[in-house]
Amino acid sequence: MTMTMTQQMITIAMVVLGTMLTRFLPFMIFPSGKPTPKYVQYLGKVLPSAVIGLLVIYCLKDVSLLSGSHGIPELVGAAAVVLLHLWKKNMLLSIAGGTVVYMVLVQLVF
Amino acid sequence: MNKNKESLHLSSPAINTHMNKRSQIWAAFRSAFPYTIPIFAGFLFLGIAYGIFMHSLGFSAIYPIIMSFMIFAGSMEFVAANFLLGAFNPMNALFLTLMVNARHLFYGISMLDKYRGTGKKKLYLIFGMCDESFSINYTANVPANVDKGWFMFFVTLLNHLYWVAGAAIGGIFGSYVKFNTEGLDFVMTALFIVIFIEQWMKEKKHYSALTGLGLSVASLILFGGNQFIIPAMLAILGVLTVLRKPLEKAEVSV
């Protein structure tokens, strides 16, 4: 380790600062005392669906379709989650079922 | 879930109001906990993986514990470990953190209303607004008789605890873990897929969901896994801004 303790603490503090800026900034710019601009209210309504879609893709960002297992375990696991959820609508069952399918695939099949 | 709730209610008005507040908090805890069970599995696993990772880099357990407690942003903590190993460059650390975590800006904008009126808990709710806490707190159907502020507080707190506990276990006992956990991290992917479906079924129009999914895929193909988030966010923002007029006419049902 090349850094001194102080330098490490400053580095960690910078990561904390950066993270907290991204979390607190919207609340500082649009305090609850003042009316939020209509455009921002609109964004607050439509962004969640889009950003949850972004999160799903974010989880799959390291999947390679062209090499290794070609993303088949991810596809089958995701399909299992979707089907289970449409069938039983039980959050825990869908998540656990899909994860077990995926683990079996990556550990025993691929 | 729990049937001895009735037994908590006792006589005397003073005790009653006190008990009411306590039973209100307890009710929020009980309805929040089941939502966090998948995260319990996911965070404990990822936290342990993170602790082991830090251990393998030569950091003592106190590093993953403090970092998981203070940063509480999973992917960023792995990146932060690399900062600590490189040359001292605090500005670089700050800017890279802002880039990786820029998606939180969208969470904040989405939660402006929901976090309103939560009192002192609001600061902690914002501090702990990781991907998982955000998506549960945004989409969960909190029962009408449960205090939403306390519900969101417990979702955030439990997730935070799972993550710190995982990192601590990984950092302390990292070298002893032998059970084959390969693929367990899929639990997080599965969680977001379920939340995506839940959100999908709640809304009448799916422009926004499809925009998010489609543009993220396009951006991933164009820019690759490490750099796709910011272009995806900008594209989503652009398209949703253009779609504002038609969408507002079709009234967004959330």
Output B180 or A22, whichever has higher pLDDT: A22
Confidence band (pLDDT; 50, 70, 90) for B124? very high
Residues of chain B contacting A100 with CB distance shorter than 8 Å: none
Range of the domain at B38: 12-180
**Residues B229, B108 within the same domain:** no
**Residues B245, B171 within the same domain:** no
Q: What is the dihedral of CA A8, B56, A55, A41, to 10 degrees?
A: -20
- The minimal CB distance from A46 to the residues B127, B213, B240 is found for B240
Q: What stretches of chain B show up as alpha helix (H) in DSSP?
A: 13-56, 62-70, 74-85, 90-100, 103-111, 121-127, 131-139, 148-173, 186-202, 207-223, 229-242, 244-249
Q: What is the sign, positive or negative, of the torsion defined by CA atoms of B116, B122, B126, B128?
A: negative
Q: For residue A100, what is the nearest residue in chain B, using CA coordinates?
A: B184
Residues of chain B contacting A107 with CB distance shorter than 8 Å: 180, 182-183
B15, pLDDT greater than 60: no
**CB–CB of A39 and B244 under 8 A?**
yes
**Residues B41, B95 within the same domain:** yes
What was the pLDDT predicted at B95?
Answer: 81
Residue B141: closest CA among B227, B55, B31, B241 = B31
Indicate the number of domains in chain B: 2
**Residues B64, B106 within the same domain:** yes
| Chain B nearest CA to A26, separation (Å) | 5
Residues of chain B contacting A46 with CB distance shorter than 8 Å: 207-208, 240, 243, 247, 252
**Residues B66, B129 within the same domain:** yes
Residue B121: closest CA among B188, B32, B190 = B32
- The minimal CB distance from A44 to the residues B112, B131, B229 is found for B112
B4, pLDDT greater than 50: no
Q: For residue A65, what is the nearest residue in chain B, using CA coordinates?
A: B221
What was the pLDDT predicted at B178?
Answer: 62
| Chain A nearest CA to B230, separation (Å) | 11
DSSP codes, A9-78: HHHHHHHHHHHHHHHHHHHHHS-TTSPPPHHHHHHHHHHHHHHHHHHHHHHTTT--SSSTTTTHHHHHHH
Of the candidates B135, B165, B180, which is a domain's last residue? B180
**Residues B77, B174 within the same domain:** yes
B148, pLDDT greater than 90: yes
**Residues B60, B127 within the same domain:** yes
Task: Give the tens place of pLDDT for each residue, B180-221.
Answer: 767 877 887 888 899 899 889 988 889 899 999 999 999 999
**Cα–Cα distance for residue pair B132/B188, rounded to 1 Å:** 8
**Residues B229, B175 within the same domain:** no
For residues A20-29, average pLDDT: 95
**Cα–Cα distance for residue pair A22/B11, rounded to 1 Å:** 48
Residues of chain B contacting A102 with CB distance shorter than 8 Å: 183, 186, 190
Task: Give the tens place of pLDDT for each residue, A51-106.
Answer: 889 889 988 988 888 888 899 999 999 999 999 999 998 888 898 899 899 999 99
Among B residues 151-190, those touching chain A with beta carbons less than 8 Å apart:
180, 182-184, 186-190
**Residues B31, B110 within the same domain:** yes
- What is the H or E stretch that residue A8 is in? helix A5-29
